[in-house]
Structure formats: structure tokens, C-alpha cells
Amino acid sequence: MDDTLESLFAVIEDRKETLPEDSYTASLFTHEKGENAVLEKLGEESTELVLAAKDDEREEIAAESADIVYHLLVLLSMKGMDLEDLEDELEARR
């Protein structure tokens, strides 16, 4: 899974740098609401995850979890953080 997260974060960082017009990720970095657009998505996806879990919908749980992780990585990138910051915090909690 580490490789998957690293690869995804690398794509996010690339989109932040190059801002391709047809990229959803790039649109989050240039959105008129700024960081609030990502924060709203995190809230929305969290609610959807809770509902999917409540209904025991495994596929939806996986899909909504992936949406949360993706938007979390975008937020980390927006804040000038990276996976190492997240890993360090998780490691400190072991």
C-alpha cells in the first residue's frame, strides 16, 4: 500500500505543479474556494463513509475510504506537507 500512496501523492504533487486543465486534482488547487473546497469534500466523503458503514456496504466503504484518503493527500500537499509527515505522526502513536 505504501507504493500506492507514494505514487498517488507524486501524481498530486505533479498536478499541483503543472496544473493541467483537464485535471480534477489541479482544479482543487485552483478552485475559487481555495482550501475550503477540499475541506468540504473531506466532510462530504466522511458522511458518505459513515452511511456506507452503517448499511454494511463493503464496496461503498472501500470507495468512500479511497475518496477520503485522496482528498487528505491533496490537503497535505496544499499545506506543504508530505507522506513522511503523516507517517511520522502515525509512527509516534504506535
Residues 6+ away with beta carbon under 8 Å from 8: 70, 73
- Domain positions in the chain are 3-82
49-62 tens-digit pLDDT: 999 999 999 999 99
Among 26, 6, 7, residue whose Cα is nearest residue 15: 26
Distance (Å, whole) CA 28 – CA 25: 5
The model's pTM is 0.93
State pLDDT tens for residues 12-51: 999 999 999 999 999 999 999 989 999 999 999 999 999 9
What is the reported pLDDT for 2? 66
3-82 CATH choice from 1.10.287.1080, 3.30.470.20, 3.10.129.10, 2.60.40.1080? 1.10.287.1080
Confirm if 12 and 77 have CB atoms less than 8 A apart: yes
